[in-house]
Chain A
Amino acid sequence: MKKIAFGLSAVALSIAASTSHAGEVEVLHWWTSGGEATAINVLQQEMINAGHNWKDFAVAGGGGESAMTVLKSRAIAGNPPSAAQIKGPTIQEWGDLGFLTNLDDVAKASQWDQVLPRVVSDTMKYEGHYVAAPVNVHRVNWMWANPEVFRKSGASIPTSWEQFIVEAKKIKAAGFTPLAHGGQAWQDATLFEAIALSKGSKFYSDAFIDLTEDTLRSKDMINVFDTFKQMREFVDPGFSGRDWNIATSMVINGDAAIQIMGDWAKGEFTAAGKKAGIDYVCYPAPGTSDAFTFNIDSLAMFQVDGKEKQAAQKDLARLILEPKFQETFNLNKGSIPTRLNMPRDKFDTCAHSAMDSFLASSATGNLVPSMAHGMSVNSMVQGAIFDVVTNFFNDESMTSEEAVDKLARAIKASM
Chain B
Amino acid sequence: MNSKASHSEPNQTRSGRPARLSLADWMPKIVMAPTVIITLVCMYGYMIWTAILSFTNSRMLPSYKFVGFEQYERLFNNDRWIVALTNLGVFGSLFIIICLFLGVVLAIFLDQKIRAEGAIRTIYLYPMAISFIVTGTAWKWLLNPTNGIEKMMVDLGFEDFKFNWLADPDMVIYCLVIAAVWQASGFVMALFLAGLRGVDGDLIKAAHLDGASTFTTYRRIILPSLKPVFFSALVILSHIAIKSFDLVAALTNGGPGYSSDLPANFMYAHTFTRSQVGLGSASAMVMLGCVLAILIPYLYSELRGERHE
Contact = CB atoms under 8 A, between A and B. Distances in A.
A379 B145 CA distance: 33
Contacts of B233: none
Given A383-B269, A387-B258, A395-B257, A238 B144 contact: yes
A239 interface: yes
A378 interface: yes
Contacts of B62: 76
B273 to A, nearest CB: 5
Q: Give the interface SS of chain A, mostly helix, strand, loop or mixed.
A: helix
Interface in B59-81: 59-62, 74, 77-80
Contacts of B275: 93, 378-380
Interface string B244-288: 000000001101111100000000011011111000000000000
B255 A183 contact: yes
B146 interface: yes
Given A97-B61, A237-B164, A395-B169, A68 B273 contact: yes
A131 to B, nearest CB: 16
Contact of B274 (A75, A97, A240, A380): A380
A69 interface: yes
Contacts of B59: 93, 380
Interface string A385-415: 0010011111100000000001000100100
Which residue among A185, A382, A394, A410 has the maximum number of chain B CB atoms within 10 Å of its CB?
A394
Contacts of B274: 379-380, 382-383
A241 interface: yes
A29 B257 CA distance: 29
Contact of B61 (A72, A236, A380, A387): A72
A387 B256 CA distance: 11
Contact of B256 (A72, A183, A380): A183
Contacts of A185: 255, 258
Contact of A394 (B145, B169, B272): B169
Contact of A184 (B79, B80, B253): B253
A214 interface: no
B38 to A, nearest CB: 18
Interface in A39-76: 62, 65, 68-69, 72, 75-76
B12 interface: no
Contact of B255 (A68, A93, A184): A184
A185 B74 CA distance: 22
A75 B61 contact: yes
A-B complex: 5 closest residue pairs judged by Cβ atoms: A238-B146, A394-B256, A394-B257, A383-B274, A391-B257
18 contacts: A62-B273, A183-B167, A185-B258, A238-B144, A239-B167, A241-B140, A241-B166, A379-B274, A380-B275, A383-B273, A383-B276, A387-B80, A390-B255, A391-B257, A393-B257, A394-B255, A394-B259, A395-B169
